[in-house]
Structure 1
Amino acid sequence: MTHSPADHSHHDHSHAPEVTSTNERKVLISLVLISVFMVVELVGGLISGSLALLADAGHMLSDALALALAYAAFRFGRRSADQQRTFGYARLEVVAGFVNSLTLFAIVLWILYEAWQRFQSPYEILAGPMLGVAVAGLIVNLVVIWILTRGDAEHVNIRGALLHAVGDLLGSVGAVGAAIIIAYTGWTPIDPILSVLVSMLILRSAWKLLKASLHILLEGAPEGASADDIKSHLLNVDGVSDVSHVHVWSLTSGKALATLHVTPVDAKDARNVVAAVEAALHQRFGISHATIAVDWEDTAKCSLATVETSDHAHNCSEEHGPQDLQVRAKP
């Protein structure tokens, strides 16, 4: 027994998550602000001779590149799924987050190298221009952070851009502190010292972002939704006898998917079991799309059938004996 195409015409099986215009707009505004002030800070660093300002300008350059990547990823993410990319382009956002983390590591290495050079050959720093630019940078970074924390701040790409902005903020705070100390004491080594301290904080953030984005790219299970966790939970669902072949991963930030096999206690109750499993996956683990194969031991004579949990069900007739159903949960 088969369905005609019309039977499924009212369903939308596109799995590509929606990319919001709000996230896209936040990234674009932040990109413009960071790019403009990056030039100001670079000029200020060259004039004053401050490594703290130059380091922060370099970090702002990485911010601008990261935000440009994020914006491009959002634009691509709006493309619809096609025959070659059935999940759409949403994972480009995770790739951008991964690149963001790598640029942070590169900036840290550059800061450490420049700091070592400054320790070897200290030179005069103009505290006045340094302080003025640092305070302005502090204000710009606070504005950018405020923009990025409005709404979906846990999105992996927004989080990446936010970590960059926080790193910039710390750099600006360090530059302000260094400028004040130099103005009152003339002790210039404080400039590279504070730059190194800021780079350590940036390194910690970069490591967290690298792990989070790489985990998604490697098809890792979302936090709190391991295969063992899912199996243990589903074995408590009424009508479920066994759970096997569990695979769970994230398509992008906050979009979990899963495939698994379940064995019902009563073969005739397969439809209700699948509906209960689908609900349990969504309520307990936030899994919005699951492909569930229903099987049991004496499988064979009945042809494979596909069941939509929301409406249509194929049932082998009694004369065909035990059945093997693959049930696709409605996304």
Structure 2
Amino acid sequence: MISSHSHADNDGTEHDHSHDHVPKVTQDSERRIFWVMCLTGGYMILQAIGGLLSGSLALLADSGHMLSDTAALALAWFAFRLASKPADTKRSYGYHRFQILAAFTNGLTLFFIAGWIIFEAIGRLMQPGEVLGGMMLVVACGGLAINILGFLLLHHGDRHNVNMQGALLHVMGDLLGSIAAIIAALIILLTGWMAADPILSVLVALIILKSAYGLVRRAGHILLEGTPENLDMALIRDKLIAYLPDIIDVHHMHAWSLTAEKPIVTMHVQVRPSADLETMLREINAFLLSEFDIDHATLQLEHDNCPQD
């Protein structure tokens, strides 16, 4: 029996136990989130003032969303900064999982924001107030321009990173809020129908809730160390046995994610007595990398099938 931990690069070569377990955090992603955070926080103040002066719930809701987003983006940015710290004896995988905690927290805040918007909208529908459509339109158009810029900055970043996805969802919610405020302002200017403001605010809140649920579900799955959604463990087992004739059985298979883009796999592989274990190790890792994009696997190679737990 031989136990081996292996980490293969794209060329299929192995690393020994001394390799760094922590995936690299791109400075590009960190920089993009920082600038979007500054843009969002700066315009949030202007939009809140515009909402108070115009009496628009849609603008106030969007500015409240932007306030939360500024905090959420700051949390996401801090998560990237923290994840760049090297691993140590207490945290062998480093601080990279903090990104998932940040994404999970951001998703939860979206639920509270949507609830507040719906609560305020119901109050406005029961007791309508005067809304200055002209001022509302100007402020909302400015917010839309800022949100489009922020969306483009994040959209061209690492979209597979769940921390970036959480930040992107917040900005998308702001963008939708600005669009809703513009539509509400136009309706008020053209028809004088003040109810358009809270009604469109509720529509945005429902869209935010849908996005929040998806983010919390995905981040929670990773935090609970669930099997990565793109990995079929039975398929991996069957393909390994079919690909390498010296493999008799594959069992005790486990897979989880350090981050959304970083799967980790462990397994026991029973091989024929005549098989060369070092050669098998290289071939298995090369196969996992080429077929399933798994570059971090801990393998136990054995001649006899160990007892099942």
For 1:164, the equivalent position in structure 2 comes to 170
SS in 2 for 1:241: strand
Offset from partner CA, 1:275-296 (integer Å, 9 cap, x none): 2211121122211111100113
**Aligned match for 1:137, one of 123, 138, 143:** 143
The structural deviation recorded for 1:10 is: 8.3
The secondary structure found in structure 1 opposite 2:243 is: coil
Aligned equivalents of 1:90, 1:284: Cα separation in 2: 25
- 1:45 paired residue number: 51
* TM-score, with length taken from structure 2: 0.91
* Residue 281 of structure 2 corresponds to residue 258 of structure 1: no
2:305 and 2:104 mapped to 1: Cα distance? 47
Shift of 1:23: 0.7
Asked if 2 retains the 8 angstrom alpha-carbon contact of 1:226 and 1:248, the reply is: no
What is the TM-score normalised by the length of structure 1? 0.85
Match of 1:64 in 2: 70
* Alignment partners' CA distance in 1, 2:20 and 2:129: 61
Matched residue, 2:37: 31
- For 1:206, the equivalent position in structure 2 comes to 212
Counterpart residue type for residue 154 of structure 2 = L
| 1:192 is aligned to 2:192 | no
- Equivalent positions of 1:206-225 (< 5 A) are 206-225=212-231
Equivalences for residues 10-25 of structure 1 within 5 A: 12-25=18-31
| SS of aligned partner of 2:87 | coil
1:60 and 1:168 in contact (8 A); partners too: yes
The offset of 1:267, in angstroms, is 4.3
Is 1:149–2:155 an aligned residue pair?
A: yes
The structure, 1 or 2, with the larger RCO (C-alpha pairs under 8 Å, 6+ apart) is 2
Q: Does structure 2 retain, via aligned residues, the 8 Å contact 1:127–1:180?
A: yes
* Same amino acid, percent of matched pairs: 46
Q: Which position in structure 2 is the counterpart of 1:112?
A: 118
Q: Are 2:278 and 1:271 aligned?
A: yes
Question: In the alignment, does 2:234 pair up with 1:243?
Answer: no
Q: Is the 8 A contact 1:17 1:90 kept in 2?
A: yes
1:283 aligned to 284, 290, 295, which one?
290
Q: Structure 1 CA distance, aligned partners of 2:259 and 2:113? A: 26
Q: Secondary structure of the residue that 1:236 maps to in structure 2?
A: helix
Query: Which has the larger Rg?
Result: 1
**Could you list the runs of 5+ residues in structure 1 that have no partner in the other structure?**
1-8, 300-331
Structure 1 residue 186: Cα displacement: 0.7
Aligned to 1:320: none
1:181 to 177, 184, 187: 187
Give the structure 2 partner of residue 232 of structure 1: 238
The unaligned stretches of length 5 or more in structure 2 are 1-14
- Deviating more after overlay: 259-268 vs 180-189: 259-268
* Matches of 1:125 and 1:269, distance apart in 2: 78
